[in-house]
Structure 1
């Protein structure tokens, strides 16, 4: 006797920041629920119209370059779904409204999606549920499982060092990443869906994203100086390119160099460069770490491979802090409260344009504006300069990074800006970098400053 189904025989799977098929915990759950009732599965992605609006600071919330990067991931995802006999239904508009429309027209199936512990993303799910839509969320963006932690996620230690020590003392391990599904349930009869804002075609231009002409479509102007050359085929935004890059990264032995080179400013190989794919979910953190574990098994562990684990723990920590503090992380005073920070709009504008007058800082801001990428070392420097030297509002800086960065991640971006401003969980009350000393330490010969002295070069 078959299991009783509480919903119509079908599941709407909503892709969010998880544009991949490997290690797709939420998708596996959606498939299980669809098959339980012998039903269909409809994969959906909604191009959120709120991302097209200007910020309160007067610039677009999302740069076209980042939209194009995401469009590449969607293009690749759609191709893989088609190979499995499925498709990707793309919509443009308010996610809650579009999903309500689809659910109504499909007979009120259940919606399954990944869980995102950030206020705007939580609000969409809450709106759907208040409208009577059944939404089942699955947590999957972290390296570690919430249930494997030696504390509840909402009780995570505020200090990273204490958190890391507890994780390592308890010998917590990342789960093995899930394989790509070999079969998917059939699609529903979509002919009856009446929504001019939705399409099954891979014509992303029709749903508000930049057009993608193929796997090698560029995301920017192809600046040859970029440390993340997203205009090159090897750096395509799709899942298959991400996995191929991860494989080459290990084959070249680069994990053994990471700790020594991670503070570099120029070139591709100084850091892992996983973050742009992690940001869209084209690569999962667990898949990346599984590759490093295989590398260690073949070539031995080192301080550098440990440091990759260390950095992934940092990434997780910012996720658990969102779980713990939620909207408090978005207040002007951060989790510590207090008055709104001061802000000099003209100084902020000069900072955005790379015209502060400090050659090291201006080089970083010009690289960001030209390529959508910036090394971790430079991100800390330019953020510190805005907050502490220009007395700028950390929220304006966080918004500029969100707009510009290919690898914007809501958890890490908010967490890092709070950390540097002293309004987060750092017990030392903020981090102020001396830009002259930093330039001497990391750009002693001035090569980086010369490289970005003229952004139009």
Structure 2
């Protein structure tokens, strides 16, 4: 019996899964089995050019919980998630041959490495059907071609809003799935029996008790189940109404939506969030807070669309600018990573990040600015450290934000320096945040 192969990437959920629904329809139309696969690349376990492992312990644990939750949901539908360790270009073609699959369905991700993976599968003779499904607005629905996309976010947002563009209605989760192939799946190349084994992730509940996002505690664990529960809990008065006023706070579990970790792994879709937010506004009314949640989701879309437009250029040392090559000072960078710069607000933020895998958006801007503009270090090193540490690492948003702060993105200004003294006075005048993380 032949097989349709679905490759999970950063879309680790069952609801609003149009790519998976296409795979299901293909399998049913051709009388095929359905194999569901996740691949962990060895490069994630290797040191970066900056001297630390690409995927740190916090991301590993959150991702392992996410995969385990997806596995539980699939088992309830008579399916299972096959976990493979190896290079996508090697293990997926071998896997496809083993189960007689010639078509792979997957999410389309606009970042260069992820695009290269798809091209490698095509080069290996597989038919790849990829679909962009992580954005709020469909790329094809935008009122401009990728080459003509506005380079400044304000114009991007205004043109979308002026056209009245709205996201597609999110799809419900499937209630049944085609059966997996009857072949012995344990014989597949790189097969691993557990997400925690696959990711070399620990299972102890040791997230920092003072964390803004304690990801080992039940309400914040990875996976679709917790993502949807958190979405429901946050969309309860008064939290969304207060969002614009509280979003720059440095600590507090209800000061921000904290949707980003689940969005980053695809455990919840942006369209599902939007639909739930619309329902909230219908019942409780709209205001600056609810509008600003839409505003932030559009920022996330903007970074994705910039990747479709500029691709690998976003990863070059100069970015999109004509600025000189960035300087770098490894000892200063190491002090920044460990929170030993001597600037209290920066050190507090960096220690929180290292201890918990999370820190507020405002703090990310403060510490990124300090690395680039005060320590004169390479912005790419900072982006790599965030990639390693953050439980909500998202390749498009991370790259876009670092380019924005460093002045090497699309914004016409030459950079975003955040004065540490002013930021301290504005956001931690009483010293409570510093007391928590510098004690």
TM over 0.5: yes
**Change in CA separation of 1:59 and 1:317 when aligned onto 2, cut-off 3 Å:** same
Q: Secondary structure of 1:278's match?
A: helix
- Report the Cα offset of residue 105 of structure 1: 1.2
Aligned to 2:316: 331
Which segments of 5 or more consecutive residues in structure 1 lack a partner in the other structure? 1-7
For residues 106-125 of structure 1, what are the alpha-carbon distances to aligned partners after superposition, in whole Å with 9 as ceiling and x for unaligned?
A: 22331000000000001111
- Report the Cα offset of residue 194 of structure 1: 3.2
Q: The residue matched to 1:42 in structure 2 has which SS?
A: strand
Query: Hey, what does 1:5 align to over in structure 2?
Result: none
- Structure 1 residue aligned with 2:302: 317
Q: Is the 8 A contact 2:37 2:82 kept in 1?
A: yes
Partners of 2:77 and 2:202 lie apart in 1 by: 24
CA distance in 2, matches of 1:132, 1:111: 11
Q: How many angstroms apart in 2 are the aligned matches of 1:345 and 1:241?
A: 39
Counterpart selection for 2:372 from 369, 379, 387: 387
Equivalences for residues 295-306 of structure 1 within 5 A: 295-306=280-291
Greater shift in the superposed pair: 16-25 or 104-113: 104-113
> Structure 1 residue 187 and structure 2 residue 202: aligned?
no
Normalising by structure 1, we get a TM-score of: 0.94
Q: Could you tell me which residue of structure 2 aligns to residue 106 of structure 1?
A: 99
Could you tell me which residue of structure 1 aligns to residue 130 of structure 2?
137
1:209 matched residue in structure 2:
200
Distance (whole Å) between structure 2 residues aligned to residue 152 and residue 124 of structure 1:
25
Say which of 268, 283, 286 aligns to 1:283. 268
Question: Secondary structure in 1 aligned to 2:335?
Answer: helix
SS in 2 for 1:335: coil
1:343 maps to: 328
TM-score (norm 2): 0.98
Q: 2:403 aligns with which of 404, 418, 440?
A: 418
Asked if the contact 2:60–2:199 (Cα under 8 Å) also holds between the matched residues in 1, the reply is no
8 Å CA contact 2:36, 2:81 repeated in 1: yes
For residues 7-46 of structure 1, the aligned pairs below 5 Å read 9-46=2-39
**Is 145-154 or 128-137 further displaced after alignment?**
145-154
For 1:181 and 1:304, the matched residues in 2 are separated by 33
Query: Runs (4+) of structure 1 moved beyond 6 Å?
Result: none
Q: Deviations over 1:283-308 (max 9, x none)?
A: 11111111111000000000110000
Q: Is the 2:2–2:101 Cα contact (8 Å) retained in structure 1?
A: no
- Residue among 225, 235, 253 paired with 1:240: 225
Aligned residues: 439
Tell me the SS of whatever aligns to 2:129.
strand
What is the DSSP-based 3-state SS (H/G/I as helix, E as strand, rest coil) of the residue aligned with 1:408? coil
**d(CA) in 1 for partners of 2:224 and 2:157?**
29
CA distance in 1, matches of 2:306, 2:414: 17
SS of the residue aligned with 1:190? coil
Gap runs ≥5 in structure 2: none
Q: 1:448 to 1:206 in 2, by over 3 A?
A: closer
Determine if contact 2:88/2:117 at 8 Å carries over to the other structure: yes
SS across alignment from 1:417: helix
CA spacing shift, 1:354–1:135, aligned 2, 3 Å: same
Partner of 2:412, secondary structure, is coil
Contact 1:49/1:93, CA 8 A, preserved across alignment: yes
CA contact (8 A) 2:2 2:100 kept: no
* Equivalent residues of 1:398, 1:413 under 8 A apart: yes
Please say if residues 9 and 34 of structure 1, whose CA atoms lie closer than 8 Å, have aligned partners that are also in contact. Answer: no
Residue 353 of structure 2 aligns with which residue? 368
User: SS of 2:235's equivalent?
Assistant: helix
Between the aligned partners of 2:264 and 2:200, the Cα distance in structure 1 is 17
Deviation at 1:54, TM superposition (A): 0.5
RMSD (Å) for aligned C-alpha atoms:
1.3
